[in-house]
Amino acid sequence: MSAKRIWILIASVVILGALTVVTVMANPFSQASSEDGVVTQEWKGVVDTVIGDDPDENGYTGPVINSSGVEVLSEGTNDLETLPAQPGDEGEIRPDENQFQALEAEPQWSEIFYYDFSAGSTMRPRSSSTNWAYSGGGCVYRSKGDELFTLPLNLPQGVRIDYLRLLFYDSSVTGYVRAWITTYDGAGNVTDLISVTSDSSAGYGFVISNYVGHVVDNTNLAYVLNVDFGVNNSSNELCGLRVAYRLP
């Protein structure tokens, strides 16, 4: 083959390669589904097909167990001092505050639940040194590090948080997936309203917290969903968090 033909062949390959790159870049969203290329694990638990058999579902008529607290604090003991008193703490209303008179009577709550449902894939670790991986189906797991995964919980002012449901994949004997609803007051103080932990070696499943009964106060508190993992591999996966609440 002559040198001229070789140069023509090389030039043709380069041009075709360039056209291919341009075509791919011109249509970056050509895949049919966000799950393309992901091999999801088979469901190994029991599908919750009966509506009303769990305390965080509408139509439930069984006993309600009041919560006595949380299992483990997500933040540990906080040693930050309370911020010093600010002008207006004696009763003066600031420009970003509403002036209202607190109701003396207990409000009546809606008969049905409303839900805030988040997939596990929406949460991220609080530190860049902690890595995560997506296993498909909305489930994620921690692959490196020890930081919590976190997500803001944005609920309407004045609603009552009743339950936290954790959806998980757990095939580890010693590991776990643990979730909290945590509040922060902006002065360094942290409170865990409730926590719930997965069942070891249960495969796919869900677990429901005890009754919370906390009325949302967006004026003074920020609400966050926190999650911890017992092991850093795909035997402990977070698939979703669902908060059940009632309207006043």
What does the pLDDT look like over 116-148, one tens digit per residue?
A: 999 999 999 998 999 999 988 999 999 999 999
Task: Identify which has the larger pLDDT, 14 or 166.
Answer: 166
Q: Does a structural domain hold residue 4?
A: no
Three-state SS at 161: strand
Reported as a pLDDT band with limits 50, 70 and 90, residue 214 is: very high
Predicted pLDDT at 202: 84
Q: Does a structural domain hold residue 92?
A: no
3-state helix, strand, coil in the chain (%, to 5): 10, 30, 55
Predicted pLDDT at 12: 52
Q: How far is CA 126 from CA 83, 142, 228, in A?
A: 24, 12, 11
Query: Looking at the predicted structure, is the pLDDT value of residue 41 above 90?
Result: no
Q: What is the DSSP string of 192-222?
A: EEEEEEPPTT-EEEEEEPPB--EEP-TTT-E
Mean per-residue pLDDT, 217-232: 96
Q: Does a structural domain hold residue 144?
A: yes
Burial label, 93 (beta-carbon count in 10 A; 0-12, 13-18, 19+)? exposed
Selection from 241, 39, 227 nearest residue 130 by Cα = 227
Mean per-residue pLDDT, 8-31: 41
Question: Which residue is associated with the tokens 């002008």?
Answer: 87
Q: Does a structural domain hold residue 238?
A: yes
The Cα–Cα gap between 153 and 224 comes to 5
Three-state SS at 9: helix
Domain that holds residue 218: 114-246
Query: Looking at the predicted structure, is the pLDDT value of residue 90 above 80?
Result: no
Reported as a pLDDT band with limits 50, 70 and 90, residue 186 is: very high
Q: Does a structural domain hold residue 60?
A: no
**Residues ≥6 apart with Cβ < 8 Å to 53:** 60, 62
Q: Does a structural domain hold residue 174?
A: yes
Query: Looking at the predicted structure, is the pLDDT value of residue 81 above 70?
Result: no
Query: Looking at the predicted structure, is the pLDDT value of residue 19 above 90?
Result: no
Predicted pLDDT at 201: 79
Predicted pLDDT at 23: 32
Predicted pLDDT at 31: 45
What is the number of structural domains in the chain?
1
Q: Does a structural domain hold residue 207?
A: yes
Tokens at residue 203, please? 């495969």
The Cα–Cα gap between 240 and 133 comes to 15
Selection from 179, 176, 186 nearest residue 217 by Cα = 186
Task: Identify which has the larger pLDDT, 17 or 219.
Answer: 219
Mean per-residue pLDDT, 46-63: 80
Reported as a pLDDT band with limits 50, 70 and 90, residue 25 is: very low
Predicted pLDDT at 78: 39
Selection from 216, 224, 222, 204 nearest residue 245 by Cα = 216
Kindly report the average pLDDT of the chain as a whole number.
Answer: 78
Task: Identify which has the larger pLDDT, 47 or 59.
Answer: 59
Report the relative pairing of strands 149-152 and 160-170 from DSSP bridges: unpaired
The domain that holds 188 is classified in CATH as 2.60.120.260
Amino acid at 81: E
